[in-house]
Amino acid sequence: MRKLLLVGCAAIALGGSVMAVSGQTPRNETFRMLELFGDVLSLVEQAYVVPVDNKKLIEAALAGMMTALDPHSNYLPPAGYGDLRERTEGQYSGVGLTITAEGGLVKIISPMDGGPAARAGVQAGDVISVINGQNASGLTVSQVSEKLRGAIGTSVSVTFLRDGEDPLEVVLTREVIKVESVTGRLEGDFGYLRISTFNENTGRELTETIARLKREKPGIKGYILDLRNNGGGLLTAATDVSDAFLERGEIVSQRGRKPDQILRYAARPGDLTGGLPIVVLINYGSASASEIVAGALKDQERATLVGLTSFGKGSVQTVIPLRGGADGALSITTARYYTPSGRSIQKIGIEPDLEVARSAAEARIVSRSSFIYSEAAYATALDASIGVERAAAHTPREAPGAEFDADTDYQLARALDVLRANGDLTRLAAAPEGIVVTLPGQTTTELAAVVPPKD
């Protein structure tokens, strides 16, 4: 059975070398350009001012070729391929960051819960500027990962850039990142389930956590599924999590280049919660596998979504080992994901039923189009394929005002309100004093200090 890596990434063993010739470029022209590449490599080797490492040059060329396709297609050198496998197994050594690259910048998709980076205050959307005093601009994801990883107990100095704030320079101590994919606790009469990533253990951990919460609270009335800042992971884990809350119906479909390249994933009978109400928390750091789960539960009318529109990473990457992984691997985009209703996730994301920002600062990010952190911001992002675009810059429906207690998780508080209303947003209590609310018809992109009238 093929092992799935990342979201929809199937490991395909290749015994020998592979040459792909584009269907849009005449074969003779393709071979001429390959010959040109060889000529350039030879000239560099002979004429460059200092001796060169041809292996590094070729690996850089491969990386450049893949990133020219889209932000998620990559060449993984042998070490990078090994790192990828470690991550999906739920334990690795590093600083706890999920990263991507675009336009010569490496950005944070999400910090790992409880990891060194998260504890230092690193957030989704931050840009890595400097590593150990060296400019990180122009580095690939693999190169940055290599610099961030190292022996346990050693340190790395990293400077992060964030919209509207001074650079954040932190010293991170590398440690074993043992990812506890699922954690849970009781919030009054309700269960709180946090999924930080989707790995090989997620389905089992979710089942065990729900069973524990039922024992602790036999009369439990519903669940919150927190997928905020969850950058994704395994497709199998995403379908397992969706299946845990569904009795039947489609979870997700993936469609490839040809019309007949369609795979559908369906739920099996058996809802672990017994049909209790569910609220899913999402934000712009919720990507890939998180969006599959949120989209499935929303389209199947199984859950109410609270938070902010998700990242919009709806493409499938297939990981193809080269010579059994001895020469690394290609992670190449081969399909797009679609929710059960046929909506594309790619570039659009999943919109919440109740739009709530966690803070005024987060609301400002959403209200300024040039700083929206999403797949749609990447110049080389794959299109959605269905002629739909992500919502434009706007003021979120609700956000805490500047005087609101910063330690209070307002999104979680509103999720609990939705559960108390049994998912019926028409019965939802009005937002409390100190909350910024955008009234129907209000189109300003600036935060307005408006409080809804009380009944």
The residues assigned a catalytic role are: 288, 299, 313
- Backbone angle region of 114, left / alpha / beta, with phi > 0 → left and psi within -120 to 50 → alpha: left
Tell me if 110 sits within 8 A of 255, measured CB to CB.
no
Buried b (16+ CB within 10 A) or exposed e, 23-56: eeeeeeeeeeeeeeeeeeeeeeeeeeeeeeeeee
Instruction: Give the helix/strand (H/E) hosting 238.
Output: helix 235-245
Question: By three-state DSSP, how is residue 131 classified?
Answer: strand
Per the structure block, which two tokens stand in for 306? 């609270």
- Backbone angle region of 377, left / alpha / beta, with phi > 0 → left and psi within -120 to 50 → alpha: alpha
Cα torsion 414, 418, 419, 420: sign: positive
**CA gap 198, 236 in Å, rounded:** 9
Alpha helices by DSSP H, listed for 138-217, are 141-148, 202-216
Rg (CA), the chain: 23
The residues, any chain, with a CB within 8 Å of residue 214's CB and separated by 6 or more, are 220
The residues, any chain, with a CB within 8 Å of residue 210's CB and separated by 6 or more, are 184, 191, 193, 223, 244, 272, 273
**CA gap 380, 335 in Å, rounded:** 16
Tell me if 389 sits within 8 A of 368, measured CB to CB.
no
List residues bridging with 169 in a β-sheet.
Answer: 159
Q: Letter for the amino acid at 334?
A: T
- CB atoms near residue 189 (< 10 Å): 13
Degrees, nearest 5: CA angle 437-441-442: 50
CA-closest candidate to residue 44, choices 56, 32, 54, 34: 54
DSSP-derived letter for residue 323 is: G
DSSP-derived letter for residue 450 is: -
